[in-house]
Chain A
Amino acid sequence: MTTFLATEYGVGVGWRPEIAGFVAELPGLRFAEVVAESVHDHDDLPPGLAELLARGVAVVPHGVRLSLGGAEPVEPERVRHLARVAERVGAPLVSEHIAFVRAGGVEAGHLLPIPRSRESVDAIVANVKRTQAELSVPIALEPIAAVFDWPDNELAEGDFLTEILEQTGALLLLDVANVYANAINRGTEPAALFDRIPLERVAYVHVAGGAEHDGIYHDTHTDAVPQVVFDLVAELCSRRRPPALMLERDGHYPPADALRQELDAIAKASGYPAVT
């Protein structure tokens, strides 16, 4: 765990098959993330990913379907898959969400918020521990962007996150766009959360785009990153700069120049060297 936190990976990118060619040509890249469920645990690696590993880029599997926040125990086969993918790519770390994605056998098709209650903390802590038992590397947990809150919230967001991290020993994957989205939609100050969470546990940071519809900010990953989100990255880094920050784009991929500009904007906001 300390090894990852002590290494400066700098600016990275979410590797996706659609932008594999673009990512392959980023000269300074040292860090990338791959959706864990998109990697086979024994068959061929997706084209382009093996080349990235051969270049010495650190690749972090990012799970999206474990449902760590589900009331039911995490499915052992999904945990084993994540662990095997981490070993295949020689990952220094894996990540997943503080969320649930299915209940009663029905898939939600999206990351859903869990109540900020004691019961909920107990459930996710148990699932994170079950997952850690199978992993040979640390796990970082990512708080999600949610359009609505549960009525049963007992804990403030910062206390809720800190409690989960303390009980599990997990690291934090902080999505600055999620922080922005939640604050805007709840009418609070985005940077205020930075004072309430253990910034020294931030393993890496997601930077993503979003869009506003009918007064609600949606964390879409398919739109440009707003300047306010880059400003929030700068604000975070002025308090404590995380080892890695990455651009997370999941569709409607813009031309390479636009992606390069967003990577450069992350470099500028964080003070890490440009990777383009």
Chain B
Amino acid sequence: MAERQAELVGTLASGAPVPDGFDPRLVETARVALLRKRAGEVAKAWPALAASHGRDWSRTFARWAAARPTRGSLRDGWDLARAAGELRADAAEELAVREATYVYDGTAAPRPRRLPAVRRGDGGVIIQVAGRLRILRRP
């Protein structure tokens, strides 16, 4: 049973072939619904990133996430934002705020920074000291 459960998770979370005996149409429906749900959850954690994609957010996220099992909404959005290249100003600031607040190496769970940090966003500079943030905007 452990093996069959792992197979099924592989199908739904990474797009592996549907295990024997399951209804492929229904499993595909579940896979697509799961990606839609993940997109909604990541949009809650990364509102500016999601908004910057407008109506294409669900599709963009699903394309990126189809072969990547979730590591939680915070990390999923973070990985996507880092991989996205150029970000809209507010999405770039959202990412810069997180980068200034947490240490995240892309493999282990993010943890709060102990040391002060400065990150440049599109619209200014983000300074984090002892967990508090200041955003200095360019005039």
| Count of chain A residues with a beta carbon within 8 Å of a chain B beta carbon | 33
B97 vs chain A, min Cβ distance (A): 20
Residue in contact with B33 in the complex, picked from A123, A151, A218, CB distance below 8 Å: A218
Q: Would you list 23 pairs from A and B whose C-beta atoms are within 8 A, ordered by A residue?
A: A71-B2, A71-B5, A72-B2, A103-B5, A104-B5, A104-B10, A106-B9, A106-B13, A108-B12, A110-B37, A112-B9, A112-B12, A114-B5, A115-B1, A147-B26, A147-B29, A148-B22, A148-B26, A148-B30, A149-B26, A150-B21, A152-B4, A251-B40
- Supply 12 further A-B pairs (C-beta < 8 A) apart from A107-B70, A108-B13, A151-B20: A71-B1, A106-B6, A107-B13, A109-B70, A112-B8, A112-B12, A115-B1, A146-B30, A148-B26, A152-B21, A213-B29, A220-B37
Whether a CB of chain B sits under 8 angstroms from the CB of A209 is: no
With A71-B1, A109-B70, A120-B1 in contact, do A148 and B9 touch (Cβ < 8 Å)? no
B11 to chain A: closest residue by CB = A108
Residues in chain B within 8 A of chain A (CB atoms)? 1-2, 4-6, 8-10, 12-14, 20-23, 26-27, 29-30, 33-34, 37-38, 40, 44, 69-71
Q: With the chains together, A79 CA to B29 CA distance in Å?
A: 32
Chain B residues near A257 (CB-CB < 8 A) = none
Whether a CB of chain B sits under 8 angstroms from the CB of A62 is: no
Residue in contact with A110 in the complex, picked from B4, B22, B23, B34, CB distance below 8 Å: B34
B33 touches A109 (CB 8 A): no
B33 vs chain A, min Cβ distance (A): 6
Q: With the chains together, A247 CA to B26 CA distance in Å?
A: 27
Q: With the chains together, A146 CA to B38 CA distance in Å?
A: 17
Secondary structure type dominating chain B contacts: helix
B91 vs chain A, min Cβ distance (A): 21
A151 touches B1 (CB 8 A): no
With A107-B13, A109-B70 in contact, do A100 and B34 touch (Cβ < 8 Å)? no
Chain A residues near B70 (CB-CB < 8 A) = 107, 109
B32 vs chain A, min Cβ distance (A): 9
B44 touches A102 (CB 8 A): no
Q: With the chains together, A152 CA to B8 CA distance in Å?
A: 13
